[in-house]
Structure 1
Amino acid sequence: MRTTISIVLLSSLTEGLIAPCSTLIQSSRKWSQLNTVNNGWTIDDDDEYVTDTNPSSQNQHTSKNIEEDDSAEYKEIPSSRDEQDIRSYFATCIPGLHNVLTSELLSIGATHVECKGSSGVSFTGLPEIGLKSILWCRTAHKIMELIASSTDYDVGDYYDPIGGVRSSSDLYDFTKSSLHTPSLLGNGSGGLLTLSVSTIYTSRVPKELCHTHYTALTVKNALVDSVRELRDDGSRPDVDTVDADVPLVVVLRGRRVRSDRRGRSRATRNDWRGEANNQFEGEEELVADVDIYRCLHSGGSLHRRGYRSASTEENDNSTPIHRAAMKESLAAGLLLESGWDKLIAAAKSDGLGAVLIDPMTGSATLPTEAALIACDMAPGLSRIAAHNGSGKNPHSNPPATRWKSFSTVDVWNRLLNDAAARAKAGVSWAKNNHVSIYCNEMNPRAVVLAKSSIKNSGVGSIISLNEGNCVDWTLDDKVIHGRTIFVCNPPWGVRLTEDIDESWVSLREFLRKEASGSEAWVLSGNKDLTKILRMKTSRKVVIKTGEEDLRWLQYHIFQKEDIEQTT
């Protein structure tokens, strides 16, 4: 057996990942006596995995035992059309875009939508809402369904949710007791679905659980053992690090409980709920709460649309994209914060048009995302269309469509057909002189990237690219008073070091010359540079990417005649 090990740590996920458990959790309670669990986990974040590839796992034959466990009792779980088939989901995003993501989820019909910190949103809905979210959400990176939580009091008699998970043995027992293997891995014909596992820490956890590789292996082993116990042939689920049928995400967060000299938890239920109880003494002990999710999609983070060419994404020597290039999800979130979508809606209503202008476009991520929004093109369609790798397209048939008692391929295909029809109508409307997007770039290498992104996006017909210094760029009659938004992501020190001050001076002069009476939004990671603009901000949106604290700054540019009257 060959195992590849890597670490995924997502500290930006905050507390509050617990949501009401889904139908699958309810089903697993009925089967907790079976100690059924799944096996074969992988770290499934953007670029790192824990895999377990055992040749024996290739056996996909049906066993009598698992067929019997795939019983009528389980099949009575409501279908996706039933009001009772409400699932609990969690979506992650770039810290600071949680409010935008919340609005997106509400727009597709999600319920009980609630921000959990600045980098995640929990919500509920039918399986169809889950499929809509991976198709339409522009700011989400991962969208997952909660299937087990160690803080659920009904996970099993052996386990005390107040005491928490302390060791790999506890984690093994919790996994085996809380997950129902046939419902998670069965495919309706006796075969086993493939798996991957990712481990995420939101805070410090007990020492025995702090290694992502061994934590993932513990969950994997519990699931493999459960499958082997159920099947007469001793086969096990396969692991797929690229396009797993069931990509699992294990989230651990630490907390402290009081224990007596024997090391046993003396915390009470009231203590765990935050109600003080100091009737006993003891040392505090670090324990972990564990949630297990299954990711609705594969292919890494949803921020990748695919319009950046393969050579660009891989940073080859021909057209290397800058290491600090803006993520597509960030660009979309900033545009939605600026109200670009509302301006598009107004243009559809009154026919007066909408204009977006980017004087320092770089690789044209902002204009491209703006065009996708204007043309009502779902980002999920972009991912499907852009796939040109060998094998099956992981985006055209996402994992959620392969799960038992979740949804069907027919539902997914209907959503895709609806999205395709909306995109066709949207592109036609935008091209009919209703939407214009203009951008400018002076760096020749960036121009190559910009042209590639615009061409590959499928919406390049409404984007015009100019080459040169923005100071020399004249817009003439392109600006529509009251219907134009200026956006810009200029260099701000951390990203680049050459001629930064000069770039901001050029931006200042361009806005004064061409943006009179308009609204401008500028992304900055350096407050000293923003002073060069000599303008007062109207609004600030705080964004955090990696180690960088950014501000999306709104400016209202006075009309020239207004300035003359005040002088």
Structure 2
Amino acid sequence: MVRKVMSEEKLKITIKTLYGFEKAVQQELQELGYHDPEILNRAVRITGAWRDVYYLNLYLRTGLVVLVELAAFSFKDKDDLYAQAKKINWVSLFDKGKTFAIKGAIFSDVFTNTQFPQLLIKDAIVDQFREQTGDRPNIDAKNPQVSIDVYISGKNCVLSLNTTGAPLYKRGYRTETGPAPLNEVAAAGLLYLSGWDRKSTFIDPMCGSGTLVIEAALLAAGIPANIERRHYAFKNLLNFDRELWEGIYEAAPKKPVKLDFSIIASDIDQIVVTKAKRNIRALPVSRCVQFVMGDFEDLKIPEGNGVLITNPPYGERMGEEIEALYARLGDWFKHELAGYECWVISSNEDALKSVALKPSRKMKIFNGSLECSFRNYSIYEGSKKKIQQEE
């Protein structure tokens, strides 16, 4: 579904993401009909209207939050920062009965304490409310109803509304996780970065709680990533257009679908396979994934081409040395996955060397706070076999 901009209002909209996934966000935005998205550091920027803000919060798979810029300005000192922040008409944005918080990133020699600029902006907001309404909104640092994003570099400041609230990886469908689960936004980003065509076999042989295969099924079926999510920060703003939002939500695809190719999820741990099944069962794609309990080496691989992405353990697994596990994985790719593009994400460089195949592509990305390598192994057949030992 391609969005339609119904309002002439032009907003600067910034989508924050994880390090290394900027191009995935750019690709996704282009697929959704947005032209010339601008890549920033851990973010991508477009222009649009409030309809787009609502639409993106529902549909985006690879973004963390959707920000709407309120003001961008230079300031001389702390007093000037306060004064500039107070010029924004905060009382027109949210009601004094809503809780709020200031969050963001500060890179400036003007302040020795990186929390101080946030306190100044908070004071500007509170003082404006007191002067204009006689009362003030309360702060809730953990779960604010309204979240203000601040970015300061040197003496330049950008203030934005976080229209999302809790990050978009909180889709609403995952009720159970296994150890070291893959973030939903990261999982969707890996799908985009892999180049999977969404028409051929997709396999995750170490599926854990199923994030990769669930995101793959939603993507292939065209079901919005956040179809089960109910809470967004934009609903707490004074300009919230309920009719507009409900129209966008009601128009979104929600009906159960059946795909004409296989999505296969396997894991040696019966408990996490059960969790994966529970996570997907309420979604329209519940019948799109084949779950198998067992070791990956026993998995029956469909003939033809396909894509495999997996997030194996980065440390010991059930007493097995991690290097031995990755070596088995590499052998399995070589002997059983002819015609497939195999991708592995891991933070363990030594273990990745144990795969003993030469990767055709490497990408530096982050899985949470862990710096990882996302590596592609193209597995060729017969005389085209070009598997090489990693030097």
Common topology (TM > 0.5): yes
Match of 2:50 in 1: 127
- What pairs up with 1:420-439 in 2 under 5 angstroms? 422-424=253-255, 427-430=256-259, 434-439=260-265
Cα deviations by residue, 1:28-57 (Å, 9 ceiling, x for unpaired): xxxxxxxxxxxxxxxxxxxxxxxxxxxxxx
Is 1:558 aligned to residue 380 of structure 2? yes
Match of 2:63 in 1: 140
Matched AA of 1:525? S
- Note if contact 1:172-1:219 (Cα within 8 Å) is conserved in structure 2: yes
Separation in 2, partners of 1:452, 1:328: 16
Alignment partner for residue 331 of structure 1, among 171, 187, 198? Answer: 187
Match of 1:206 in 2: 110
The Cα of 1:375 is off from its aligned counterpart by 1.8
CA 1:522–1:404: 2 relative to 1, 3 Å: same
The Cα of 1:502 is off from its aligned counterpart by 2.4
Match of 1:380 in 2: 226
Cα deviations by residue, 1:348-368 (Å, 9 ceiling, x for unpaired): xxxxxx211111222221111
The Cα of 1:517 is off from its aligned counterpart by 1.9
**SS of residue matched to 1:460:** coil
**SS of residue matched to 2:278:** helix
Alignment partner for residue 442 of structure 1, among 268, 281, 294? Answer: 268
The Cα of 1:452 is off from its aligned counterpart by 2.8
CA 1:379–1:222: 2 relative to 1, 3 Å: same
Alignment partner for residue 249 of structure 2, among 416, 427, 437? Answer: 416
Separation in 2, partners of 1:555, 1:102: 24
Match of 2:357 in 1: 535
The Cα of 1:143 is off from its aligned counterpart by 1.0
Pairs aligned (count): 382
**SS of residue matched to 2:227:** helix
Matched AA of 1:334? L
Larger radius of gyration: 1
**SS of residue matched to 1:535:** coil
The Cα of 1:504 is off from its aligned counterpart by 1.2
Is 1:297 aligned to residue 164 of structure 2? yes
CA 1:100–1:563: 2 relative to 1, 3 Å: closer
Separation in 1, partners of 2:208, 2:233: 35
The Cα of 1:506 is off from its aligned counterpart by 2.3
CA 1:528–1:148: 2 relative to 1, 3 Å: same
The Cα of 1:244 is off from its aligned counterpart by 4.8
The Cα of 1:382 is off from its aligned counterpart by 2.5
Which one is further off, 519-528 or 361-370?
A: 519-528
Separation in 2, partners of 1:89, 1:496: 46
**SS of residue matched to 1:549:** strand
- Note if contact 1:402-1:408 (Cα within 8 Å) is conserved in structure 2: no
Match of 1:489 in 2: 311
CA 1:514–1:238: 2 relative to 1, 3 Å: same
Match of 2:389 in 1: none
Identity %: 26
Is 1:252 aligned to residue 188 of structure 2? no
Is 1:226 aligned to residue 55 of structure 2? no
In structure 1, runs of 5+ residues without a counterpart are 1-79, 152-163, 186-190, 255-287, 314-320, 348-353, 385-394
- Note if contact 1:195-1:248 (Cα within 8 Å) is conserved in structure 2: no
Separation in 2, partners of 1:126, 1:95: 26
Match of 1:171 in 2: 81
The Cα of 1:462 is off from its aligned counterpart by 1.3
- Note if contact 1:491-1:503 (Cα within 8 Å) is conserved in structure 2: no
Separation in 2, partners of 1:81, 1:307: 30
Match of 1:469 in 2: 295
The Cα of 1:404 is off from its aligned counterpart by 4.5
Cα deviations by residue, 1:40-95 (Å, 9 ceiling, x for unpaired): xxxxxxxxxxxxxxxxxxxxxxxxxxxxxxxxxxxxxxxx8443x10001111110
The Cα of 1:115 is off from its aligned counterpart by 0.7
Is 1:104 aligned to residue 28 of structure 2? yes
Alignment partner for residue 208 of structure 2, among 362, 370, 393? Answer: 362
Cα deviations by residue, 1:12-39 (Å, 9 ceiling, x for unpaired): xxxxxxxxxxxxxxxxxxxxxxxxxxxx
The Cα of 1:97 is off from its aligned counterpart by 0.3
**CA RMSD of the aligned region, Å?**
2.7
Match of 1:86 in 2: 10
Match of 2:278 in 1: 452
- What pairs up with 1:5-404 in 2 under 5 angstroms? 81-83=6-8, 85-117=9-41, 119-151=42-74, 164-167=75-78, 169-177=79-87, 179-185=88-94, 192=96, 194-207=98-111, 210-212=113-115, 214-231=116-133, 234-239=134-139, 244-254=144-154, 288-298=155-165, 300-309=166-175, 312=176, 321-322=178-179, 324-340=180-196, 343-344=197-198, 347=199, 354-384=200-230, 395=231, 398-404=232-238
Alignment partner for residue 324 of structure 2, among 486, 502, 515? Answer: 502
The Cα of 1:211 is off from its aligned counterpart by 4.1
Separation in 2, partners of 1:563, 1:207: 58
The Cα of 1:289 is off from its aligned counterpart by 2.1
Cα deviations by residue, 1:283-333 (Å, 9 ceiling, x for unpaired): xxxxx32211101122x1111222221xx46xxxxxxx32x3210111110
The Cα of 1:245 is off from its aligned counterpart by 5.0
Q: Give the structure with the larger helix fraction.
A: 1
**SS of residue matched to 2:264:** strand
Which one is further off, 105-114 or 458-467?
A: 105-114
- Note if contact 1:303-1:327 (Cα within 8 Å) is conserved in structure 2: yes
CA 1:198–1:402: 2 relative to 1, 3 Å: closer
Runs of 4+ in 1 over 6 A off after TM superposition: 494-497
**SS of residue matched to 1:379:** coil
Cα deviations by residue, 1:106-125 (Å, 9 ceiling, x for unpaired): 333335521112x1111111
The Cα of 1:438 is off from its aligned counterpart by 0.8
Separation in 2, partners of 1:442, 1:289: 52
Separation in 2, partners of 1:495, 1:215: 45
